[in-house]
Structure 1
Amino acid sequence: MFKKILASVGIGAATVDTVLETEHLYPGQKFQAKIIIEGGDVSQQVSGLEMALMTRVKVENDDGHYFVNHVIETWKIGEQFDIASGQTKVIPFEARLHSETPITELNAGYNHCHVWLETGLDIDLALDPTDRDTLHIYPNDAIKTCMSAMEKLGFGLVKADVEKGQLRASNFHTVSGCYQELEYRPHSKSLFGIQEVELSFVPEAHRTHVLIELDRAFRSDGYVDLTIEHDQVNLSQLCDQLERLFA
């Protein structure tokens, strides 16, 4: 009985460990994992197993801003089962990352972008044991080329973060409850009078949309957008497109 009481507060309870085939992924990419459940000091009933794709989002209010954890997507894995004391149970798992998963591998002065998987056991009358696995998310070719075009046009990436909310343009919108912003500033005086450019990418299976916020010296902020087809990624063409949008 004493062991059951301890297990109910997490001492000697079952544990969960997610082992990923790789932590280096792209938005929208499939991933594979093994979920290893180790029985604790007593037999326990597991009502469910859940995995969540998580990030940190910036929330703004009248007093400033703060960061909170945000669930991008969740997966329910398996049915109810019992895990005996000392037993090991391995569950193979495969899923696809949400296409709007924020990019974390960025060369920015201030990079506030973090993504991880959190796996939890739902155990009756016990604290939920959880496992956290950091993910390294890389830009797809369209995003990478757009970032190269910005550098070629004389803009440097200074800050990246993920904000709570939704983006909406004429032909696309976000659905994850958050969006990433990459903040660029000109290395020297901009030919277009632009003080700051913020890019937000919304990838789909065959194309990536880009919402661009322009902060100009003598005009109010404005928004423009473009769509990059994945089979037509071209650095020179992207530079020309961006120049026309900035003019």
Structure 2
Amino acid sequence: MGLFKKMMASVGIGATKIDTVLDSENLVAGAEVTGHFEIKGGNVEQNIDKIYINVMTKYEKTVEDEEGEESSYRTDYNLQVIDVPVEKVVEPGDELSIPFSFVLDAQTPIPTEKFPVWLDTGLDIKNAIDPGDKDIIAVAPHPYMQIVLKALEKLGFVLTEINNQEADFKWKHPFVQELELKPQDGAFVNSLDELELLYNIVDGGLKLWIEVDRRANGLLGVFAEAMDLDESEVLLEIGEEDLEQGVDYVAEGIKNFIEQYI
């Protein structure tokens, strides 16, 4: 009977179970995450070497077939791996609580229904299927990016779309998060169709790659739009000292910057 139970536990039946409990549901990119693991023993004794947390998301990948036709699909990506050494023997019926903490990657993307972020937690148990736990999480942007988004909102922009797109250039991860914003009111409502942003959190501030899509005005505007001359891609670097001045200050800086390209 003991051998049968061990065999069943090795394929996940009657095995040790794990649940990840966060101290707060309000997670922020670049900030500390704390919580604990609740572990419940199964039908047999099992040795746990470590517990791991994978911070996961999805991004859109583009492939080309033999005829040159492109298609895209969403694929899972592991943003971050956290290993928590345990080295414990879990007996049947044991209930353990093990605390953990880690700093969430500063470049963790803003989650959406299409591109969620989740924690994939598991136990490293030799010769056994991992009894994992999956938890979808809400993540607020890095504080630097929160200031930028509030500044853009103050300028009349509304965030309309978020996409995790495969990067065709060197980046920390194989994808970038692209934000699309449209002017609903304010200084740019009659001069811009939209802004597209890529952002990178760096030491001492952030970098914004901004694509300014100008609104076509008259015949020359239509011609420029057809020739893709109505778009400008520019880099704006915002330092920590500027960000500390607050939303109004950053909004004025972004406004002055955009006005150079319209």
TM-score range, shorter chain: 0.7 to 0.9
1:171-190 correspondence to structure 2 within 5 Å: 174-187=171-184
Q: Identify the residue that residue 97 of structure 2 maps to in structure 1.
A: 90
Larger Rg over CA atoms: 2
Aligned to 1:49: 51
Q: Equivalent residue for 2:208?
A: 210
Cα distance in 1 for residues equivalent to 2:180 and 2:92: 52
Tell me the CA shift for residue 185 of structure 1: 3.3
Aligned length: 236
Residue in 2 that maps onto 1:81:
88
Moved more, 111-120 or 26-35: 111-120
TM-aligned CA distance change 1:166 to 1:99, over 3 Å = farther
Compared CA separation, residues 227 and 214, structure 1 to 2 (3 A): same
Q: Partners of 1:167 and 1:133 in 2: how far apart?
A: 31
Q: Equivalents in 1 of 2:31, 2:232: separation in Å? A: 33
Distance in structure 2 (CA, Å) of the matches to 1:241 and 1:155 = 15
Q: In the alignment, which of 71, 87, 91 is matched to residue 64 of structure 1?
A: 71
Which secondary structure state, in structure 2, belongs to the residue aligned with residue 80 of structure 1?
Answer: strand
Q: Distance in 2 between matches of 1:37 and 1:199?
A: 42
Would the aligned equivalents of 2:57 and 2:78 in 1 still touch at CA under 8 Å?
A: yes
Say which is worse superposed, 123-132 or 212-221, in terms of deviation.
212-221
Q: Which residue is 2:245 aligned to?
A: 232
Asked whether the 8 Å contact 2:20–2:121 carries over to 1, the reply is yes
Q: What is the one-letter code of the residue matched to 1:225?
A: L
Which amino acid counterpart does residue 238 of structure 1 have in structure 2? G
Give the AA of the match of 1:237.
E
TM-score by length of 1: 0.83
What is the aligned partner in structure 2 of residue 107 from structure 1? none
Structure 1 residue 198 and structure 2 residue 211: aligned?
A: no
Note the residue ranges of structure 1 that are not aligned, 5 or more in a row. 105-109, 169-173
Q: What amino acid is the match of 2:246?
A: V
Alignment match, 1:171: none
Indicate the percent of aligned positions where both proteins have the same amino acid.
31
Offset of residue 166 of structure 1: 6.7
RMSD (CA atoms): 2.6
The unaligned stretches of length 5 or more in structure 2 are 65-69, 217-223
Q: Decide whether the 8 Å contact of 1:141 with 1:233 is kept in 2.
A: no
For residues 78 and 35 of structure 1, what CA distance do their matches in structure 2 show?
12
